[in-house]
Structure 1
Amino acid sequence: MNILELEKRLNEKLSPQLIKDYAPNGLQVEGKSEIKRIVTGVTASQALIDRAVELNADALLVHHGYFWKGEPEPIRGMKGKRIRTLIKNDINLLGYHLPLDIHPELGNNAELARLLEITVEGGLERHPQSVAMFGRLAQPMTGQEFAEKIAHVLNRAPLHIAPDDANKLIETVGWCTGGGQDYIELAAQNGLDAFISGEISERTTYSAREQDIHYFAAGHHATERYGIKALGEWLAQEYGFEVEFVDIDNPV
């Protein structure tokens, strides 16, 4: 498939035009025209690019690409080396950020809910492009039980901040993968029992303790492995691409 046709199919699936984002979505660095082999991964780090080179990828498809708002514009240093490697090896880079977070079938939020067996009930922001979700567990759990479930599913122990009533059971849950910790305020306002995000801020601890809500910081990378993996699997099934997901270890 031609790279521009691949970008078109991805845009049709993810609808990036419907959400304001912090980086361009779609084709970010252009390489060869015809695409057969695709490598997917969370972040377009040098390690992931090098692996894509080793695997003879025609395209690298990621959640965290380049050209973020506010970043230095010159293509030099680390940024320069990454882009030079892509261009030298004729590898296309495609990135989808918020559109992949929120996609109802393949998105990071949807995948995290599936893995944790949460029934999705809607968006915390009460509109179709909400980047934070809420739902319900099949059976109430203690904070410790839910922390153990997260650790088992993501292969990473979460940081659990309990409310003042540490014995409060969890039935309703809000979540936002990655850097969505400040949605804890909206989760608390809606009376949810718990909130999950990837990252935590200093202020999040006090929000959880003072607003009677369990909080779980499960890791930015750990919570965002699954959307890009699902997107790659969809491309393989739908269009017959050779797709390989590469998970570059990241403890954050």
Structure 2
Amino acid sequence: MNTLYFLPMIEEALNDPDPKTALRAALERISKMGEQNDYHQGFIHFLRFMEETRKHAQGAMPMADPLLSPFLDDLAFKEEGGPGEEDRLLDLVRGLPEWRKLQEEISESEWEDRAEILLIERNGAPFARVSLDKPRQAIARVKPGTYDFKLDTGRHLWSGAITEKDLLWSYAFPEKDLPLAADTGEAEPVSTKELRLLEDHMIVRVFPGMESGRLAVHIHRTKKRRSL
């Protein structure tokens, strides 16, 4: 089991609009997963990392320990400490050199070593699954909506709207006729939207059609994925 497996869950929680609530939920999930044999080794490494985090917190913020201890005890926040202590603790964790270093490792190792599928949701419902082992893939019949892109490891990549102007030729290029090939997939017209993800290792381009659009997914892995 990759020892970085749990860290994307923490990173996503820290970036949540309500990080304390999201972090509590993430830690509860991690605690339950840590009881399973498949995740046990990664869980032990996660606890060691949190122990180092607590050491830094004790040196920089004496009041932080009552908040950070539950990471290692019951993995849930105590509502202790002075006003704003939780927020200051979250800022401290984000600023730790160890955390920044691990995030750099996650950017490369976590997705290349473990991820197998790109999961795409539309308006909160599953829409498409893209294998990361194929360098070029296309998704047809894409209609306007709010889309979420995430890896099967749980790492969130992008959320946002893909609109009629992105997907429908009459909105994207109202003064131009639709080339036949653009709607049949025989050639790629000019894209209306481009998403560069995973430090440009994954590029998603949006192409408009007559009644719906399509996504072209380009994936570049720098190393062979190791088995789990």
Higher relative contact order (CA 8 A, sep 6+): 1
**How high is the TM-score relative to the length of structure 1?**
0.26
**How high is the TM-score relative to the length of structure 2?**
0.28
**Larger gyration radius, structure 1 or structure 2:** 2
